[in-house]
Amino acid sequence: MRRHIVVKLIAIVMLGYGAYTVWLMFKYQSVWFLLWAVPCFVGGIGLAMSRAWSQYLVYLVAFCTVAGWAGFVGLSWPDLPGQVLPRAFALGLGLLVISVWFSVVVFRYFKRNAAQI
């Protein structure tokens, strides 16, 4: 039962992440953010409904979040002031830990549910 609640919380985080991305779309007036918001919303809703296919969207969002951070820092590396680098790496480490944790929890949840069928 505890895992079920944690998976629901991950679904809420996914939906919040999608809402944040929609806000970025309006703030920067760029439709490209929809490419990110749609998997967040669809994955979050699917996860809340315990649909097995949603785990792949969670993995995709987790991977792309970390890869996007790495790409952004990699491209901005020469222009980042020295004070910003430690914060950027701390953010990246946090994103990596959260993304891996979300992926592991979701994987175990659906693995356990598949074993019960």
* pTM for this predicted structure: 0.88
User: Which of 23-27, 49-53, 70-74, 106-110 is the least confident region?
Assistant: 70-74
The continuous run of DSSP H or E covering 97 comes out as helix 84-116
Q: Indicate the burial class of 95 (C-beta count within 10 angstroms; 0-12, 13-18, 19 or more).
A: middle
Condensed to tens digits (0 to 9), the pLDDT of residues 23-67 reads 999 999 999 999 999 999 999 999 999 999 999 999 999 999 999
